[in-house]
A and B are shown apart, each in its own frame.
Chain A
Amino acid sequence: MTGLASRSRPEVPAPGSVGPPRRPYTLGVSTATDLDPTARARDILGVSRLTNSALTGWLHGLPGVDQVGCEARAAALSTRSIKTTSKAWAIDTAISMIDLTTLEGADTPGKVRGLATRALVPDPSDLSTPSPAAVCVYGDMVPFAREVIGDRGVNIAAVATAFPSGRASRAVKLADTRDAVENGADEIDMVIDRGAFLAGDYLSVFREIAETKEACGDARLKVIMETGELVTYDNVRRASWLSMLAGGDFIKTSTGKISPAATLPVTLVMLEAVRDWRDATGEMVGVKPAGGIRTSKDAIKFLVTVSEVAGEDWLTNEWFRFGASSLLNDLVLQRQKMTTGAYSGADYVADDAPSGY
């Protein structure tokens, strides 16, 4: 489960065989990322020039999201009862999907080293426990994580682009990104300019994502939409499609600094978006809810939603992540319970980096 993604997009099998043959997107999967993002966007939108009004027409033409219906669906998925073998599978899968995160002003090299160590050995009492997918830190902390992790199969993700507010010039954001990549980050978690999005300046958001993607080089780009500031599910859907259009490899809910963060309905809307995006383009994009997911029970609800909404192709850490810190503790606790048959306690979970994220 901890095998990490290759950075190029794999061949994706056609989704479910039901229904009439869908309109094939003219660009092949393998060439999609080779194109200049603006040219690709023009092609997808069917316009000769990528203008803000073209983007507006496209995004506002997406089907709306009814809040009550969406939340009812999420609540229904939450009632799934995951027991015994499926629970054990879900716990290990969830652990393997964690981006183990510390993003505090008070972070120190020592804390980051501890976090990285924890990622390599999440439960010293049971070495069969899988590792999280990545550690996620500020860009300047990447080298300290790398010291510990080396090339031992856990990725290092860095937040960039003036995280968490995103309030800086484009040049600063791109420099921030390049800096993190040069420091050895495998993955970049950027924030979008929510102000620009809410003001309707979609072209600016598009360009920023596309340029950040370019600055990432081989690093995979996660686009943080800060859904708590977008407020409506219609906005979440539009931001998701805009992020995917601009070349994001993942769409991510939140910085963890704003509440509400990763709710199940928001993640549901994003999972619908990546599912529909694959239908439209053949490309897979990952989803990362981040912030507020603290218990195994919560994590399993998200996995149920991934499975039933996007489908099982997304049930790997290549395409789904949890941005979390304390979640790992609870998953390890539950894993111990399943292994030993007895309820465990916090003192039996080694925690190098207690954090409030």
Chain B
Amino acid sequence: MPTFEYAPAPESRAVVDIASSHGLFIGGEFVEATGGKPFKTVNPATEEVLSEVSEATADDVDAAVRAARSAYTRVWSRMSGADRGKYLYRIARILQERAREFAVLETLDNGKPIKESRDVDIPLVAAHFFYHAGWADKLGYAALGENPRPLGVVGQVIPWNFPLLMLAWKVAPALACGNTVVLKPAETTPLTALLFAEVCQQAELPPGVVNIVTGAGATGQAIVDHPGIDKLAFTGSTNVGKMIARSIAGTRKKATLELGGKGANIIFDDAPVDQAVEGIVNGIFFNQGHVCCAGSRILVQENVADEVVRRLKRRLTTLRVGDPMDKNTDVGAINSRAQLTRIEELTAAGAAEGAERWDSGCELPGTGFWFRPTVFTDVSQSHRIAQEEIFGPVVSVLTFRTPGEAVAKANNTPYGLSAGIWTEKGSRILWMADQLRAGVVWANTFNKFDPTSPFGGYKESGYGREGGRHGLEAYVKTGGDQ
């Protein structure tokens, strides 16, 4: 019997040189933190310590906000849009030049497969800067209202699932609109943000326009609470999003929140079935399922449910789980032990509640944090695995009989971020798209992102949009706004 085993094809990590410790990036320079407790960031695939990172204290955050304010009033808000744009173009180009380095570093720190950081994350990062660079001198044409003006200093707190991409989603529009930023990367994935600081230096971005402070929840809270912050942009869990909304209640701080989701990927009996199966795989196993807009609930029409599940399982046996640095790896490491524990707990609950559990049975490495691609069938709306965001490579399959039932089940969640529709019938797509309460609807595709395309949720998936013309609205004030 012939076998086609793929020999290891590891990407070289020689392109990155990780310093053993990192300071904070404030006012255009790397500085020591003023006394927080440094923390270690590890490679989740090996548990190897990659570097020690500073914990920014409230004083450090204050220094960063002051640096940002100074850069805002003295330089950045006074600069012409054309010149701001040119800095962003510079950053975009440097990111392209150093793409391999960023991809490798992202994979080491995050655990995502190198093919995703190389082919998805980093190219999209550069694209975001390129797109927003062009807006900087055209804001008056963006239909934002009369006389669009920057807000001031923006505090940005980003998650660990797409570390550099989330940075780009936040920083590029903020800078294009004339704001300056204080950004906190996630504590488990700070390294690409710190490397981005070097890009800012290479681009000779005026000091203080971008400030990067590392730390965990307390550092984030210090940013949220700082009176010098005019606007907050956060991507992360709905619970933290609510805490931020409460923190800024009664203040004049604005906020955009990109939060959790429990996206329904709806498969009709006339779907292009091979592409639909790929869509399911891409919807939930892309980036280990660490995707807020993941299609974590499959709603499949009852008359094709067995067939679709059979095809899905067969497909999952070809998914290659393992070393994220291997160019052939499809599913990498779970980002942290804490996240792995949460996935294990929720899947255990799913099995205990009576859903049928299946996994691909693939071998997993001995060290690091891993979870096999897992499918739950016989799932009901009331199961925890159908309600709570698992944020891992776990999909729940539910069935429906009619389009109306599919809509009702898809919408029956406090979230409203994404949804998928698979059918060859055009009018049904448009009808479904109208009914679904979700900010992004992918029809006959899934998990597609583009800097020109607004992204964001309904209901408890947050508010505000990122990307496209709409994303600019969150970073300007207009008319008589103070």
Looking at chain B's contact residues, the main secondary structure is: loop
Distance of B5 from chain A, by nearest CB (Å): 6
Q: Which residues of the partner chain A approach B5 to less than 8 Å between Cβ atoms? A: 85-86
Asked if residues A93 and B424 are in contact (CB atoms below 8 Å), the reply is no
- Beyond A81-B6, A85-B5, A85-B7, list 9 extra A-B contacts (CB 8 Å): A19-B309, A63-B274, A64-B424, A65-B275, A66-B275, A68-B444, A86-B7, A87-B7, A308-B318
Among candidates B119, B270, B306, B445, residue contacting A68 with C-beta atoms closer than 8 Å: B445
Q: Which residues of the partner chain B approach A304 to less than 8 Å between Cβ atoms? A: 4
Asked if residues A19 and B310 are in contact (CB atoms below 8 Å), the reply is yes
Asked if residues B273 and A63 are in contact (CB atoms below 8 Å), the reply is yes
Q: Which residues of the partner chain B approach A35 to less than 8 Å between Cβ atoms? A: none
Among candidates B270, B306, B314, B327, residue contacting A16 with C-beta atoms closer than 8 Å: B314
- In Å, the complex CA distance between A70 and B277 comes to 11
- In Å, the complex CA distance between A20 and B377 comes to 12
Tell me if B328 counts as interface (CB < 8 A to partner A): yes
Most buried by A among B4, B119, B306, B314: B4
Known: A65-B275, A73-B275, A73-B278. A307 touches B310 (CB 8 A): no
Tell me if B317 counts as interface (CB < 8 A to partner A): yes
Interface residues of B in 277-308 (CB under 8 A from A): 278-279, 306
Q: Which residues of the partner chain A approach B278 to less than 8 Å between Cβ atoms? A: 69, 72-73
Asked if residues A20 and B310 are in contact (CB atoms below 8 Å), the reply is yes
Q: Which residues of the partner chain A approach B424 to less than 8 Å between Cβ atoms? A: 64
- In Å, the complex CA distance between A304 and B7 comes to 13
Q: Which residues of the partner chain A approach B328 to less than 8 Å between Cβ atoms? A: 80-81
Closest to A70 in B: B275
Interface residues of A in 82-98 (CB under 8 A from B): 82-87, 89-90, 93
Tell me if B93 counts as interface (CB < 8 A to partner A): no
Most buried by B among A65, A81, A87: A81
Among candidates B2, B274, B275, B309, residue contacting A315 with C-beta atoms closer than 8 Å: B2
Fill in one digit per residue for A1-42: 1 if any B CB lies within 8 Å of its CB, else 0.
000000000000000101110100000000000000000000
Asked if residues B445 and A315 are in contact (CB atoms below 8 Å), the reply is no
Distance of A268 from chain B, by nearest CB (Å): 8
Closest to B4 in A: A307
Tell me if A107 counts as interface (CB < 8 A to partner B): no
Tell me if A255 counts as interface (CB < 8 A to partner B): no
- In Å, the complex CA distance between A65 and B444 comes to 10
Q: Can you list 19 A-B contacts (CB < 8 A)?
A: A16-B317, A19-B310, A22-B310, A63-B273, A64-B270, A66-B445, A69-B275, A69-B444, A69-B445, A79-B115, A79-B119, A80-B6, A81-B327, A81-B328, A84-B7, A85-B5, A87-B7, A90-B4, A307-B4
Closest to B326 in A: A81
Asked if residues B271 and A63 are in contact (CB atoms below 8 Å), the reply is yes
Most buried by A among B6, B270, B271, B306: B6
- In Å, the complex CA distance between A308 and B330 comes to 13
Closest to B6 in A: A86
Distance of A310 from chain B, by nearest CB (Å): 11
Asked if residues A19 and B314 are in contact (CB atoms below 8 Å), the reply is yes
Asked if residues B314 and A83 are in contact (CB atoms below 8 Å), the reply is no
Asked if residues B3 and A312 are in contact (CB atoms below 8 Å), the reply is yes
Among candidates A65, A84, A93, residue contacting B2 with C-beta atoms closer than 8 Å: A93
Asked if residues A81 and B310 are in contact (CB atoms below 8 Å), the reply is no
Q: Which residues of the partner chain B approach A312 to less than 8 Å between Cβ atoms? A: 1-4
- In Å, the complex CA distance between A259 and B87 comes to 46
Interface Cβ pair total, 8 Å cutoff: 87
Q: Which residues of the partner chain A approach B327 to less than 8 Å between Cβ atoms? A: 79-81
Q: Which residues of the partner chain A approach B217 to less than 8 Å between Cβ atoms? A: none
Distance of B209 from chain A, by nearest CB (Å): 36
> How many residues in A have their beta carbons less than 8 Å from beta carbons of B?
34
- In Å, the complex CA distance between A20 and B314 comes to 11
Tell me if A272 counts as interface (CB < 8 A to partner B): yes
Tell me if A303 counts as interface (CB < 8 A to partner B): yes
Tell me if A316 counts as interface (CB < 8 A to partner B): yes
Asked if residues A83 and B9 are in contact (CB atoms below 8 Å), the reply is yes
Q: Which residues of the partner chain B approach A303 to less than 8 Å between Cβ atoms? A: 4
Asked if residues B444 and A18 are in contact (CB atoms below 8 Å), the reply is no
Distance of A312 from chain B, by nearest CB (Å): 6
- In Å, the complex CA distance between A307 and B306 comes to 24
Tell me if B254 counts as interface (CB < 8 A to partner A): no
Among candidates A63, A83, A86, residue contacting B4 with C-beta atoms closer than 8 Å: A86
Q: Which residues of the partner chain B approach A80 to less than 8 Å between Cβ atoms? A: 6, 327-328
Tell me if B272 counts as interface (CB < 8 A to partner A): yes
Interface residues of B in 173-217 (CB under 8 A from A): none
Tell me if B357 counts as interface (CB < 8 A to partner A): no
- In Å, the complex CA distance between A70 and B55 comes to 47
Nearest first, the 5 closest Cβ-Cβ pairs linking A and B are A69-B275, A19-B310, A81-B9, A81-B327, A63-B273
Asked if residues B8 and A83 are in contact (CB atoms below 8 Å), the reply is yes
- In Å, the complex CA distance between A316 and B3 comes to 10
Asked if residues A66 and B444 are in contact (CB atoms below 8 Å), the reply is yes
Q: Which residues of the partner chain A approach B9 to less than 8 Å between Cβ atoms? A: 81-83
Asked if residues B274 and A70 are in contact (CB atoms below 8 Å), the reply is yes
Closest to B330 in A: A76
- In Å, the complex CA distance between A176 and B382 comes to 66
Q: Which residues of the partner chain A approach B275 to less than 8 Å between Cβ atoms? A: 65-66, 69-70, 73
Tell me if B313 counts as interface (CB < 8 A to partner A): yes
Distance of A8 from chain B, by nearest CB (Å): 19
- In Å, the complex CA distance between A11 and B318 comes to 24
Fill in one digit per residue for B88-128: 1 if any A CB lies within 8 Å of its CB, else 0.
00000000000000000000000000010001000000000
Closest to B119 in A: A79
Most buried by A among B1, B7, B317, B444: B7
Q: Which residues of the partner chain B approach A79 to less than 8 Å between Cβ atoms? A: 115, 119, 327
- In Å, the complex CA distance between A69 and B272 comes to 9
Closest to A233 in B: B272
Distance of B121 from chain A, by nearest CB (Å): 15
Asked if residues B273 and A20 are in contact (CB atoms below 8 Å), the reply is no
Interface residues of B in 1-37 (CB under 8 A from A): 1-9
Interface residues of B in 111-161 (CB under 8 A from A): 115, 119
- In Å, the complex CA distance between A316 and B311 comes to 24
Closest to A61 in B: B270
Among candidates A20, A93, A272, residue contacting B274 with C-beta atoms closer than 8 Å: A272
Distance of B261 from chain A, by nearest CB (Å): 22
Q: Which residues of the partner chain B approach A18 to less than 8 Å between Cβ atoms? A: 310, 313-314, 317
Distance of A180 from chain B, by nearest CB (Å): 30
